[in-house]
Amino acid sequence: MRAPSSLFPARRSWRITRVTRIIAAAACVAIGLTPLVASAPAQAAPSATGEFNYAEALQKAVWFYDAQREGRLPANNRVSWRGNSFLNDGADASLDLVGGFADAGDHIKATFPLVHSLTVLSWGMIDYPQGYSSSAQSQYLLSNLRWGMDYLIKAHPAAGRLVTEVADPNKDHQLWAGAEVQTYTRDTYTMNSGTCWGADLADSAAAAFASAAMVFQSSDPTYAATLLTHARQLWSTTESVTKAKYDDCTPIVKGFYNSWSGFADELVWGSLWLYRATGEQQYLDRARAYYSGLPKQGQDPSTPIKYSWTLDWDDKTAASVILMAKLTGDTQAIADARNWADFNAGAGVGGQKVTMSPGGEAFYGTWGSLRYSAGAAFIAFVLADSGRLDATRNQQLHDFAVRQVNYILGDNPSHVSYMVGFGTNFIKRPHHRTAHGSWSNNFADPVEDRHTLYGGLVGGPTAADDNYGVEDRNAFQKAEVALDYNAGLTSSLARMAKEYGGTALAGFPPTETPDKEIFVQASLNQANTSFVEIKSLVYNHTAFPARYTPNPSYRYYFTLDSGTTPSQIVLTKAFAQCADPSGPTQFQGSIYYVTISCVGQNLGPIGQSESRRENQFRITFPSAHDYTKDWSFAGVSTTQSSPVDVTHITVYDGSTLVWGTPPGPATPPGAPGTPVASNVTSTSATLTWTASTGGSSPVASYDVYRVATGGDVKVASATGLSTSVTGLTASTAYTFYVKAVDTGGTASAASGTVNVTTLAPPTPPSAPGKPAASNITATGVTLTWTASTAGSNPIGGYEVWRTATGGDVRVATTSATTLTANVTGLSPSTAYTFYAKAVDNTGVASTASTSTAVTTAAARPPTTPGQPVASNLTATSVTLTWTASTAGDAPLQRYEVYQGTTLAGQTANGTTTTLTVSGLTPNTTYSFSVLARDTAGVASANSAAVSVTTPQAPAATLKAQYKNNDSAPTDNQIKPGITLVNGGTSAVALSTVTIRYYFTAESGATTYNTWCDHAAVGCANITQRVVSLATPVTGADRYLEIAFTTGAGSLAAGANIGEIQNRFNKSDWSNFSETNDYSYGTNTAFADSTKVAVYVSGALVWGTPPA
């Protein structure tokens, strides 16, 4: 973020955060601040125009915008160290604001400087397209313009709504890290025409849309039309509403991008750009009407329009004057443009002129001084090229502009290029989080930037003395880069490339080789002859791009001594920030490794502790072991307090190796002997071979391959030296070979081959006799058949099959001498068809026998249960008990109790013979019977019925009183206060009492949280739940039920229980609308309420439930 415009001094304290501490000058060397010295020129210091490669400078200035992109980067992303970022922008406002550009060295998206930058870039392409085309940069500038405009379209979702900023700068500046690992929720700020409309921002955005529409008109007229529609909407909205400054609509921007100059300049600016884009007179008429209101040079309104300032993101006065003069030739505009030319590039006005440094910088302000001189250079070029002034002034303007650009590129007393990556003596430590690549949330660590931010223009000298001083990336007033800094410079370079030429660099940008990103350091804690204890630290210093490592693990390799088994190794920890050490796991041969898993730790380069995990582990051996010869000990520091990088400890992210070198490749086993074939049949053969000699690791198995056209096929694996190959085709020639595979998965060379020809197909057995059915039950049948006659091979057995739609099912198998089978698991009263097959001892089957049709018997139901016996009779419930049924053909599943012919309830299983029926009406006679049902769904007959008459309900001696404890009926909680009064002559046990408060849920979650905030009987003796009505009614679809435990005791006659303060809410905390709830009242003192129902032993004794 940049300093304010010319009208007010800078007011900035927001940079003083934990990552931007003031550093004493004495500490410069300690953190690597580098002084700029005039004795080290970037190149032969140019003293004349044309000595710089302006095409290269333009190429790099455009590339800077690629480096500033946010969102989901395209496949042709040109910045290898950038990745996706901020993929949820706008979600808090139900908008898709993914994309756009980071404003500066931070990551906020600020619309005011963005639209300024896009307009100036488009202006440069409109006026000086030859500079881009001759430098081969047109496609890249257009790509960046479209990237910005695509975002701006999303930021303008409606005619009267415009996004002013994404992200709270105060939050953004708390972390000094790459954009890709910033994960905090970013706030969206907007302005709306119905509440507050910032005319300055709206008309600046209109100018951006209109100018970009001109750029894309020839290559993509549809897109250009869309842009122009947005421009018209914004301009028209400004014309139709009360105008305000946008920073009054979005106060969060104050102190960052204040609208110091107000909106008078933008009213002219936006109107002129719409006029230029459309040629429509209405826009020029408004621009002329607003022109006289442009800021003046002095406080007196009669003074000329301000000529002592440049073009920047806030103040477009000078640019509006020059554009008006260029487009219209209006006399007043030309006079005002002449004043600007004289003050900034000529002899001065009234004895005053722009402040110039000794080296030639036009100095307008201390914060980011070079973005001001770059902006002045561009509009000076535009004015000179417009032809609206005389030749002398045009030349003065031209030379002034050239001088400012050359000063930036290195023609200055320090011979330093203020464009990062241009020349040989350029600024190398810009204030830019992602380019710096810190992993520790520290602008001073590392000392040098890990990336070159090509093309970025830094702020430059903070006084008119040409003195940049020592490089210090935290000195943001001089070291920061920004979208608007580069805008004027980029368009000026297009103009200079057009005039002076140059050649863009081939192979740009150069490939950056990632430095150390994910790695391990280790040192020796302690050791003796039987153990070694290692201190290890795994780091995430990623910056290519910065990224989290969600599933890191690392391996320490050691050699298992002869005679030692893995189970004898003992692994322990001395300190662990990740999982305990696991293993050992065989790598190859006698080499094993210990794994330290940090899966789920999600290491990120966002702080010292967040970017690393420390683990101290010990490997204990059963006998003496020389740990110094272990693979991973090589390079381990023997000074416990000074761990060093160890490449023989490997790091994995998931299954991907990201650091280190594992032990060398294994020596494969020797080839096995040539296989020998035996037991050859028409469909199989047995192969036998001699053993392989082991390589680095023992042989674990052998794989048998069949030679085949198009690629050999593995047909079998064996741990021994023989296997049977099956599934072959009769009378067919085959070729086989064998490979040995060791415990590490390394395969040997192939053995010699063996040729095998299978035998002719065998004669199958004859079909068995037709099965005869007997012992037919509801669920089974016995089938008997006559024997088959053997074919080429002896009969091995018989199979019984059941025909079925979709494929017949084998239901039984027997031996060769068993000619009968019991088929079970059938369904009662069902028709089936069965047949039999004979199978020889090689698996060859006969044809099917003649089929037999069978219909199973009807199911035998359970016996009738005993007559129910009633007990525990109350006014609303009764317990029934009966004697058990005896199962029929299927096990009992449950009992069903019927009230007449209506199901009143059922048991959970077939062993329970009691059930309580509730919900009965007092003083009513009922008839109950019971039946048993088995797992096949077959039911017994109903038992004899028992008649039950419920007693009279207790007298209505209780009443409920209610008061409203919630003053906000549309918030997310309901707070009914309830008390009970006993108006009878005897005490009532509270454990028999329930209270219902009826309400509607509207929408939202269907689960609830309930609280008892206070109760005289003690909240521990209160239970609460929310119950849904089976049939919602007006005013109620649920009720809060309040009940009491036995600990609540009794309510004495003539007494009340005191207030119960209830509170409940939906689990998603969505709002209620209580005023239409059945039980709701507005009284804040207790009063009788018949809309709160009271039940005793399940019987209603007070109130009227909703109907």
Residues labelled catalytic = 103, 106, 257, 480
C-alpha 467/C-alpha 36 separation (Å) is: 9
User: Tell me, what DSSP letter sits at residue 379?
Assistant: H
C-alpha 1/C-alpha 312 separation (Å) is: 13
> Of 316, 370, 404, 502, whose CA–CA distance to 396 is shortest?
404
- Torsion on CA atoms 1012, 1018, 1023, 1028, rounded to nearest 10: -40
C-alpha 741/C-alpha 739 separation (Å) is: 7
Please answer whether residues 839 and 847 qualify as being in contact, where contact means their C-beta atoms are separated by less than 8 angstroms.
no
C-alpha 735/C-alpha 752 separation (Å) is: 10
User: Tell me, what DSSP letter sits at residue 93?
Assistant: G
C-alpha 982/C-alpha 997 separation (Å) is: 19
Task: Give the DSSP H or E segment for 112.
Answer: helix 111-127
Calculate helix-pair angle for 264-278, 317-328, nearest 10 degrees.
Answer: 30
> Of 270, 194, 282, 284, whose CA–CA distance to 234 is shortest?
270
C-alpha 457/C-alpha 369 separation (Å) is: 11
Please answer whether residues 248 and 237 qualify as being in contact, where contact means their C-beta atoms are separated by less than 8 angstroms.
no
One-letter amino acid of 728: L
> Of 994, 965, 999, whose CA–CA distance to 980 is shortest?
994
Please answer whether residues 1093 and 1009 qualify as being in contact, where contact means their C-beta atoms are separated by less than 8 angstroms.
no
> Of 152, 146, 142, 158, whose CA–CA distance to 192 is shortest?
158
> Of 265, 272, 199, 263, whose CA–CA distance to 236 is shortest?
199
Angle made by CA atoms 582, 587, 592, in degrees to the nearest 5: 50
C-alpha 2/C-alpha 114 separation (Å) is: 12
Please answer whether residues 67 and 454 qualify as being in contact, where contact means their C-beta atoms are separated by less than 8 angstroms.
yes
Chain-centre distance for alpha carbon 964: 44
> Of 454, 426, 511, 478, whose CA–CA distance to 67 is shortest?
454
Q: What are phi and psi of 488, to 5 degrees?
A: -65, -40
> Of 833, 943, 807, whose CA–CA distance to 885 is shortest?
943
Angle made by CA atoms 502, 505, 511, in degrees to the nearest 5: 165
Q: In this structure, is the dihedral angle defined by the CA atoms of residues 920, 921, 923 and 929, taken in order, positive or negative? A: negative
